[in-house]
Structure 1
Amino acid sequence: MKIAYLALGEEWQNNSAGHSHSFSICQNLAKLGNDVELFIRGKGKPQAFGRLKVSFINLPKAGGRISGLKELKKLSEKLKNFEIIQERFSVNPLSVLARFGFKGKTILEVNDPGVETWTGLRKIAYAPLIRLKLESCDAIITQTETIKKILKAQTKKPVFVISNAAAVKKASKRALEKARKEMKCKNGVVCAIFAGSFREWHGVRLIPKISRLVSGKKIRIVLIGNGELFEKVKSECKSIGNVRFLGAKPFEKIPELLQAADILIAPFVWNNKKFDFWWNPLKLFEYLAAGKPIVTTGFKEVRKIAKNAALYAKPEDIKEFARLLEKLAKNKNLRQRLGKKALQIARENTWEKKASETLKIYKKVLA
């Protein structure tokens, strides 16, 4: 099958979850014997990874000047050679124009409920575009049943659910030792890692308070990543001795850092009163693939992912979160049991499996 994957809102090799998901699913679709081309923002000559080709497209971003007509025309001509297009949703309207004249089928990948959750000018400005994208596709792929339910209220197009995944790859002993040293986690100190974007719903703003509650308990909190709340969180942690910031790390280095930890944390928060927590965090799949126990928030969609490999706190209950973290820190056997369960769940949610599920949807839509 000839497959085009449009990721026009993602930047090549920028360590984001969007980039990781796009490349991983394309790479595994290619491994199944398909000819796949990933179109993504970037510069340089196309790159080949077996039957996967990565081509760089620099269409103007949404809200920018309407330029780059040559790029748009070139993309439009290329797309005519494919049987199916999967477009990772972005608010860039030019992807609709790029598909003009395409005779195959289009799958829209929507990982955010979009217009139904927006308000004010943003909703007014983008609502027509979002409806156009929903109605111009043949089917929709999303990541959770919660998002599916929201989308079904917006469109009659078929909606399929395929979750995120992660690759299980064991790090070398040398890499783990190097990671522990970088995190300054000496023998006898339990290392708990948060890895990801410093965004509101990731709950990273709660970490300074949680860190204070476990200070003096031989628990080191290590934060990996950056984002809009990075400076605020770092400032609030200045007077706390058990916190270390590593900043953003290359995506390929994240697995060995996670495997070097003793516990992995994700204190998600949620302030949307209309809809339940809808995300399918790639972070949790990466945590599971590291084979480590998790302390996180007990939202329904989170429990579906981590299952019995995690301990769950109530939303924004920092005392309970700290108590669960301390409970794991004191109980090595419990950490090992949950870690084994985590690895088992990860092996049931590989990119290979998700690519196979995606291919079945393509065939159903093409039939």
Structure 2
Amino acid sequence: MKTTSFRNRAVQQPRVLIIVENLPSPFDRRVWQEATALYANGWVVSIICPTGKGFERTHELLEGIHIYRYKLPLEGDGPLSYLVEYFAAISHTFRLAWKVRKNHGFDVIHACNPPDLLFLVGGFFKLLFKSKFVFDHHDINPELFEAKFGKRGTLWRLMVLLERLSFKVADVSLATNESYRRIAIERGGMDPDKVYVVRSGPKLERLRAVPKNDDLKLGRRYLVGYVGVMGKQEGLDYLLKAVHYLVYRLGRSDIQFCLVGGGTSLEQLKQMAIALKVDEYVTFTGRVPDQQLLEVLNTADICVNPDVFNEMNDKSTMNKVMEYMALGKPIVQFDLAEGRFSAGESSVYASPNDPEDLAIQMASLLDNAQRRSAMGELGRARIENELEWKYEVPKLLAAYQALNIVHVR
């Protein structure tokens, strides 16, 4: 049915503007899956996000969704650079939100943190135009700050305040797991009835089998795969120490590691691999297209998640773990609460933050082909039967139904 005016809410399609700062769309898989699910269910969807490698266009229409992108001056890696990055991001987001409102309109602003400053945009349009505000809680930023900088203090307390204000402005919030839901309720003061758990389940149609490429093993017998951000809190320094232990203490020269992803610590990690004399055993690909990522993961004999034990990682669901499971890959990771919840028996668990035990667990699993096969099947079955994205879509739609945006499809 054709829209007659912005105020004729009974006969117009509902409209949502999704704003995200830390990754471009459609590269951010959770954001893109949410956007396409809403579009498929009758919503007019627009996205504001930064540019990124392969996503340089400032405006494009993709699968019916309008994407508006802005260029950031730099990627933050310290308090001052984060301040510059976030100021630029908020300024561009306000500018583009006005443009989206003029071109397409929106009834809802759906903000995906980090940072926890996006409530400024949502609150502004809520106050002026009675738009609804959805806070999509991707990261627990006080814990992230502590993980990055190793302390609390004034800036940490500011993170807690900004988080609470985000929940205060929100009409509903989305949590990626039960740990995040508890934070929304207990620390954020959110009404429990307004907090919806929507997990970041993978789409199996994307994570498909492709032919293996044994050239990735560089002549070695086994390949260990990793996909994710190359940052301080991802524990990749522990992984490199584990590689050193495998090679020089356990005498394992038959294992190649392929690490896929980009981030602020990538060059530092490359230098660390050289210093540890394991650079010939570790391939850093940087950020790559999906086809190349799938080639690495399909070739891998096992996959690794070296996220360190801290308050943030213990409470966070890691997308890479479920992507490994979706491809039927057995996993080795440190023992973290949400990591264990997601992977269950499809993973083995090393003692937290112990690179030697991480190495021992990887070697043991690589030497047991039957166990690897069984674990991979368990992980794939858990995704197919419980954690695939299709099981999360009704939860997302329920959260949006609670906003009471009336429309006729």
Q: What TM bracket, shorter-length normalisation?
A: 0.7 to 0.9
Quick one: distance in 2 between partners of 1:124 and 1:324? 38
Counterpart code for 1:26: A
Cα drift, residue 302 of structure 1 = 0.5
Match of 1:355 in 2: 393
Match of 2:18 in 1: 6
User: Residues 24-35 of structure 1 correspond to what in structure 2 (within 5 A)?
Assistant: 24-35=33-44
Cα drift, residue 199 of structure 1 = 2.0
Say yes or no: does 1:172 pair with 2:184. no
Counterpart code for 1:6: I
User: Residues 115-154 of structure 1 correspond to what in structure 2 (within 5 A)?
Assistant: 115=142, 119-123=152-156, 129-153=162-186, 154=188
Give the alignment's TM-score, normalised by structure 2. 0.77
Match of 2:328 in 1: 291
Contact 2:309 2:336 in 1 (8 A): no
Which of 60, 65, 77 is the matching residue for 1:46? Answer: 60
User: What value does the CA root-mean-square deviation take over the aligned residues?
Assistant: 2.9
Which of 217, 226, 233 is the matching residue for 1:201? Answer: 233
Change (3 A) 1:44 1:235: closer
User: Residues 231-246 of structure 1 correspond to what in structure 2 (within 5 A)?
Assistant: 231-238=267-274, 239-240=277-278, 241-246=280-285
Match of 1:105 in 2: 132
Counterpart code for 1:268: D
Change (3 A) 1:297 1:70: closer
Counterpart code for 1:73: W
Contact 2:302 2:331 in 1 (8 A): yes
Contact 2:210 2:294 in 1 (8 A): no
Quick one: distance in 1 between partners of 2:292 and 2:144? 35
Say yes or no: does 1:86 pair with 2:110. yes
Match of 1:247 in 2: 286
- SS for the counterpart of 1:46 is strand
Say yes or no: does 1:189 pair with 2:201. no
State the percentage of identical aligned residues: 21
For structure 1, the 5+ residue unaligned runs are: none
Change (3 A) 1:337 1:305: same
Counterpart code for 1:8: V
Quick one: distance in 1 between partners of 2:90 and 2:372? 54
Which of 135, 151, 162 is the matching residue for 2:198? Answer: 162
Which of 333, 347, 350 is the matching residue for 2:370? Answer: 333
Q: How many residue pairs get matched?
A: 354
Quick one: distance in 1 between partners of 2:346 and 2:286? 27
Match of 1:300 in 2: 337
- SS for the counterpart of 1:165 is coil
Match of 2:301 in 1: 262
33-42 or 323-332, larger mean C-alpha shift: 33-42
Contact 2:197 2:395 in 1 (8 A): no
- SS for the counterpart of 1:167 is coil
Quick one: distance in 1 between partners of 2:317 and 2:360? 25
Counterpart code for 2:99: K
Quick one: distance in 1 between partners of 2:128 and 2:272? 54
Quick one: distance in 1 between partners of 2:356 and 2:156? 37
Match of 2:68 in 1: 55
86-95 or 218-227, larger mean C-alpha shift: 86-95
Contact 2:14 2:42 in 1 (8 A): no
Q: String of CA shifts for 1:154-212, please: whole Å, max 9, x gaps.
A: 21332221211112232332xx22xx32x2344x6111112211223321111122112
234-243 or 120-129, larger mean C-alpha shift: 120-129
Change (3 A) 1:229 1:56: closer
Q: String of CA shifts for 1:251-293, please: whole Å, max 9, x gaps.
A: 4532232111110001221344xx7721111111111122110
Counterpart code for 1:106: F
User: Residues 307-326 of structure 1 correspond to what in structure 2 (within 5 A)?
Assistant: 307-326=344-363
Counterpart code for 2:18: L
Counterpart code for 1:324: Q
Give the alignment's TM-score, normalised by structure 1. 0.85
For structure 2, the 5+ residue unaligned runs are: 1-12, 52-56, 73-83, 146-151
Counterpart code for 2:67: V
320-329 or 240-249, larger mean C-alpha shift: 240-249
Change (3 A) 1:61 1:325: closer
Counterpart code for 2:397: L
Change (3 A) 1:116 1:205: closer
Contact 2:210 2:298 in 1 (8 A): no
